[in-house]
A and B are shown apart, each in its own frame.
Chain A
């Protein structure tokens, strides 16, 4: 499209260089450094020197580190549960708000609030609501005749507390994405379905759902990748406890890296984490590659 091929080339390459080289320098280089550290033992908190230990860190992670397996198990079940519930609720909300209902824009804006607020602020507000001595939630449940629930001290309950807050924060993400998708559906099909006398459920099951499926898959993957990085809610609400019942992968690595200063080991953990995320995001990227 450009007159002078050479000048166009200069611009095409020149334009992309700042961004690309920045990412190379600040994203790829740190990762490579981290990879080299993952083969070393480096406990910065003690005076012990950095030593090359080969695959020892990874051996320890896989065969001796039960805290890693715990955090992986917790994170995976957390992701599975919140994503399914958020999808279901978001789908229901989007379906209802796709009808010509009043105040639709009001709802869209209000539902944006939880996503726009800093997660750590959210975490503290919920910690306040759920506080066993003072929290309004507990008081309400008491006044309804339910026993005081030790939300934040019973290891069986704490994972569900975190999940509820996640659902509060991110169901709107599913809702907004799906609402946009609903609005792009072809109207003609629905007119035809109505003529054929299909019920509400049948229309959804056989027309809407199949058409939405590609977008649902994309949204689910996006949300899953994001939920996998769970950190602020753990930091702000439970601190990983009680015990290690709510220790997410990110939080565990943070503890190893920035509290024990066991930097080599933290890097090995990071790379395993990265591997898992890459595996999941690969599905998403392949999907997006088709659309670009």
Chain B
């Protein structure tokens, strides 16, 4: 009896804590949604029940997506999608090749370990330290405010982590399958293309999505390398900050537009992402 009582006390504490934490985690998102369907006049009110406490209004969404600023928002969304998907594709291409090479072959002059750790060390650089020379390079190449400049920057930003995770994925595949393919007359390139690559597909998709999210959320490179044509969603949100302060309804709508795609992607692939976010430091 006694121990049963103790356990239930523990359970009650657990649930209270979990529910509080969930509330604290979700509340800002919830408030963003509520604010985005309030009319500008009501943005300072604490009402939170649509239809009961205030009349929901599509004003914010009409401004953000409609005639007034719709063109800019759509351009931002388009840029975000283009930059994130293309840069992640490039990362995947180079990352899979390098990861496979480091997982399956042994390097001699520099050991595999040294190469892998050097690659990862690029991930630890503070972006601002790279942003200034990047800005200068792109200015010299006359690439400022173009998609290639930002894509190139995001590839550097994501490649190290991708290679690191790919090494892990390829190493977990049993080598014997590829050896069997080689005996059957495959070249080692075919073994990579037809065996290793398809088998590690779940991992590869997870890396793609992780890179996509990082690139989608990245702010510093975009804000330093673009000023008009190539702004992504995060920078467009930042642009809503004017001298007058913030129009909360507008910021809410824009933020929700920027927040939703990565959050949905993350929710769909949460099982794989956790490993990527923790750099594979925790083997699941």
Contact = CB atoms under 8 A, between A and B. Distances in A.
B217 A117 contact: yes
B205 to A, nearest CB: 16
A18 B119 CA distance: 13
Interface string A153-180: 0000000000000001000110011101
Given A116-B263, A118-B259, A222-B279, A27 B274 contact: no
Contacts of A93: 17-18, 21
B97 A128 contact: no
Given A23-B159, A113-B266, A128 B35 contact: yes
B76 to A, nearest CB: 12
Interface string A254-276: 10011000010011001101100
Given A129-B28, A180-B284, A274-B129, A116 B265 contact: yes
Nearest to A285: B117
A113 B219 contact: no
A37 interface: yes
A7 B187 contact: yes
A140 B31 CA distance: 13
Contact of B219 (A2, A33, A178, A231): A231
| B contact face: mostly helix, strand, loop, or mixed | helix
- Category for how many chain B residues contact A: 35 or more
Nearest 4 pairs of A and B residues by beta carbon: A19-B98, A116-B266, A30-B133, A15-B101
Interface of A: 1-3, 7-8, 11-13, 15-16, 18-20, 22-23, 26-27, 30-31, 33-34, 37, 89, 92-93, 96-97, 99, 101, 107-122, 124-129, 131, 133-134, 136, 139-140, 168, 172-173, 176-178, 180-181, 183-184, 200, 215, 218-219, 222, 225, 228-229, 231-232, 235-236, 249-250, 253-254, 257-258, 263, 266-267, 270-271, 273-274, 277-278, 281, 284-285, 288-289, 292
Interface of B: 10, 14, 17-18, 21-22, 24-26, 28-29, 31-32, 35, 43-44, 46, 93-95, 97-98, 100-102, 104-105, 107, 112-113, 115-117, 119-122, 124-137, 152-153, 155-156, 159-160, 163, 167, 175, 178-179, 182, 187-189, 192, 213, 216-217, 219-220, 224, 233-235, 237-238, 240-241, 246, 248, 251-252, 254-255, 258-259, 262-263, 265-267, 270, 273-275, 277-279, 281-284
